[in-house]
Amino acid sequence: MLNIVSNIYEKLAVIRRKLYYKGILKQKKFPVPVISIGNLSVGGTGKTPLTIFTAKKLQEKGYRVCVLSRGYRRKSRGTVVVSDGNSIFVPWEEAGDEPYLMAKNNIPVVVSHSRYEAGIKALNSFPVDVFLLDDGFQHFQLYRDLDILVVDATKPFWEDKPLPAGRLREPAEFYRYADVIVVNRLNRAKNPEKVLEFLKNSEKQLFISEEKIENITDLKKNKNINFLKGKEVGAFSGLGNNGQFFQTVKDLSHKIGFTVSQFISFPDHYSYKKLNLPKKQLWLTTEKDIIKISQKQIEKDNIFALKYSLNLPEDFVQYLENIINAERLKKD
């Protein structure tokens, strides 16, 4: 039964994309370049860390960047300016957890069900040189100058099926619509050589990221990751892929030398209005999770978040700059 529903879902996804690419349904355009960062599957490929990395690197190069996001599961309605890069104007509940985390990194963010309306709001609120379209691979209403597809090497999309039998939003072969592929977690893949072989044969511009975890934070202060050495630690998260975070904690426990006594899994985008943790010496979670927990509870339960980030080669940033500058010349 699931396979039948998946076949129907797949055909509808094919029709939807073709309607836009053939111009039957029109795409709206902005006067500044738009770079989409998305994926083929639901949950947990590393889009948010890549968006933060890309935004901050472009900011360092002098570009005024703004992220446009849906703001999944936010409690606000309409179009909301989360941050102008200097100030955050709404709590995480009204922004959505991922846009709020981006805003905490001093990145301008606007959320709306319509990314076009979000962009218009941004252009009328502060200067913008380039938009980053968060989770935009299936958001066809807005024209993109560059499509970046994020791939989790531990879960190759070409081995998966469309929803609901699998986790794919579109057929696996739709990776061909991407301009750039960024591979995350290659070092954790069971067969990294086969992953690279497939992606290199795609003839897409390919970049491989590296994970960086050097610190933990309780939102008031950062500590070096070696603070965990010799301690008993519990871990919890509410992500699209909790297993990835738990594996990260396990790997760190071997590397740093601490004991993991318990893992607690919450649903994706969990609000943490009720959090009753068993008493442990220390708890680890993610930055996406800890921003939703009160400072009082963080201090009571001794909760820290791993400061997780991605790093990509300078060639990646240079590639984006070349695209941005070329598109700006066209639009001028």
Ramachandran area for residue 265 (φ above 0: left; ψ -120 to 50: alpha; else beta): beta
Looking at the DSSP assignment, which residues form a beta bridge with residue 131? 34, 66
Annotated binding site for ATP: 41-48
* Nearest alpha-carbon partner for 67 in 4, 7, 112: 112
Instruction: Describe the strand order of the beta sheet including 210-217 as a list of residue ranges.
Output: 222-224, 210-217, 303-311, 282-286, 232-237, 259-265
Q: What is the 8-class DSSP label of residue 174? A: G
End-to-end CA distance of the chain: 52
Amino acid in the structure at residue 228: L
Residue 20: in which H helix or E strand, if any?
Answer: helix 2-21
Annotated binding site: 41-48
Angle (CA) 24-29-32 rounded to 5° is 160
Q: What is the dihedral of CA 172, 189, 238, 160, to 10 degrees?
A: 20
Ramachandran area for residue 203 (φ above 0: left; ψ -120 to 50: alpha; else beta): left
**What does the alpha-carbon distance between residue 67 and residue 193 come to, in Å, rounded to a whole number?**
34
Q: Which tokens sit at 225?
A: 């990751």
**What does the alpha-carbon distance between residue 46 and residue 281 come to, in Å, rounded to a whole number?**
29
**What does the alpha-carbon distance between residue 284 and residue 302 come to, in Å, rounded to a whole number?**
9
Three-class HEC string of 102-128? HHHCCCCEEECCCHHHHHHHHHCCCCC
Buried b (16+ CB within 10 A) or exposed e, 312-322: beeebbebbbe
